[in-house]
């Protein structure tokens, strides 16, 4: 008899290994948990490693919040070698002898800090006329792409052992680290591609807390379930609002609440918040996450994405 899928709610912080797609990693983790519903929060290229948060159950409602979050990476740029894909997956296009000093690198890096523009690579999942760009690229077709604004918050040189340039990057959503490496290579006059890429952070989530598929698979089923972070791990950057039982019920029914009128502490600024409420039963102590809301003018709390009922994790 086929084992029934479990209705699990939570987040698995996975340390993805190289050679696997993000979807392959998701399928493996879902199978290990026997979970009924799962999704990921943005992909990592197959050659890349590092933090891949996987969402289960109610957590999938908030996956977009991590798609929009800042990301952190450690990367190795191979100077002097251009490839078709900008990474180790593509064939070598050109090779140039690059005699560069650490000072040469430090002179160029400031150009790539702050608000910059990037041209998305042809080998990407962006779509044109319903087809991903990489399909055009594989057919030998190059299309015009509009530059896109991104923000590089931090770009640090951590090591330089020619021809390998080691960088630490913290950036906004939508940043292509492959393109960053290529553009730095062009600025240095020698071209480049990514030799390695490891994601170390997504929003407030950190690689240090992640499991590999191997270590996760070695756990017992109860240990795997216990290893899931709670749903609100995805929402740690949001201010909090706490509601008593009756107001929590009204919030879950989709009603707007005047926090001042109800004498509820308001975060003080308009924007998104995570909302907690008292439990309706003694089966679960304390409070639980109700979902996200938005603070409107005059301290009005409007429901946004809601968690309908507590479920076992």
pLDDT digits (tens, 9 = 90+) for 166-219: 999 999 999 999 999 999 999 999 999 999 999 999 999 999 999 999 999 999
E strands, the chain, in order: 10-16, 38-40, 49-56, 71-79, 81-83, 92-95, 114-118, 127-128, 131-132, 148-161, 164-171, 192-202, 205-206, 240-243, 257-258, 271-278, 287-296, 300-306
**71-202: in CATH 3.40.50.300:** no
Contacts of 162 (CB under 8 A, 6+ apart): 79, 98, 99, 100
* Predicted pLDDT at 75: 98
Cα(89)–Cα(138) distance, integer angstroms: 13
Cα(168)–Cα(164) distance, integer angstroms: 13
**10-68+204-233: in CATH 3.40.50.970:** no
62: tokens are: 């908030």
Q: CA-CA distances (angstroms) from residue 113 to 77, 151, 153, 155, 212? A: 17, 7, 6, 6, 32
Domain covering 238-306 in this structure, CATH number: 2.30.130.10
The DSSP output letter for 5 is: P
What is the pTM (predicted TM-score) of this model?
0.89
CB 117 within 8 A of CB 148: yes
Domain span(s) for CATH 3.30.2350.10 in the chain: 10-68+204-233, 71-202
Closest CA to 265 of 250, 253, 276, 280: 276
* Predicted pLDDT at 15: 97
* Predicted pLDDT at 169: 98
* Predicted pLDDT at 284: 54
Domain span(s) for CATH 2.30.130.10 in the chain: 238-306
Q: What is the dihedral of CA 84, 16, 153, 149, to 10 degrees?
A: 50
Catalytic residue among 9, 15, 45, 65: 45
Told to judge if 45 belongs to the known catalytic residues of this protein, a careful annotator would answer yes
Stretches where the chain sits below pLDDT 70 are 1-2, 280-286, 309-313
């Amino acid at each position: 008899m086929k084992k029934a899928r479990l209705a699990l709610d939570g987040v698995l912080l996975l340390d993805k290994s190289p050679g696997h797609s993000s979807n392959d990693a998701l399928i493996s983790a879902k199978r290990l948990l026997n979970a009924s519903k799962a999704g990921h929060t943005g992909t990592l290229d197959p050659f890349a490693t590092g933090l891949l948060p996987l969402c289960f159950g109610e957590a999938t409602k908030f996956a977009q919040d991590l798609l929009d979050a800042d990301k952190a990476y450690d990367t190795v740029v191979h100077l002097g070698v251009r490839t078709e894909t900008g990474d180790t997956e593509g064939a070598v296009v050109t090779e140039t002898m690059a005699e560069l000093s650490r000072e040469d690198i430090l002179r160029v890096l400031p150009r790539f800090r702050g608000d910059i523009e990037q041209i998305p690579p042809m080998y990407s999942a962006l779509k044109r006329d319903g087809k991903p760009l990489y399909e055009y690229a594989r057919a030998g077709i190059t299309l015009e792409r509009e530059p896109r604004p991104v923000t590089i918050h931090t770009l640090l040189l951590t090591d330089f052992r020619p021809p390998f340039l080691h960088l630490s990057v913290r950036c906004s959503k939508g940043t292509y680290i492959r393109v960053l490496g290529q553009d730095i290579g062009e600025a240095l006059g020698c071209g480049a591609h990514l030799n390695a890429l490891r994601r170390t952070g997504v929003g407030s989530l950190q690689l240090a807390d992640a499991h590999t598929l191997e270590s996760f698979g070695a756990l017992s089923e109860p240990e795997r379930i216990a290893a899931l972070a709670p749903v609100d791990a995805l929402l740690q950057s949001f201010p909090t609002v706490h509601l008593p039982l009756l107001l929590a019920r009204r919030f879950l029914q989709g009603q707007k609440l005047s926090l001042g009128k109800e004498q509820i502490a308001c975060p003080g600024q308009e924007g998104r918040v995570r909302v907690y409420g008292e439990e309706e039963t003694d089966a679960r102590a304390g409070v639980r996450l109700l979902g996200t809301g938005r603070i409107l003018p005059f301290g009005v709390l409007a429901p946004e994405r809601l968690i309908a009922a507590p479920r076992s994790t």
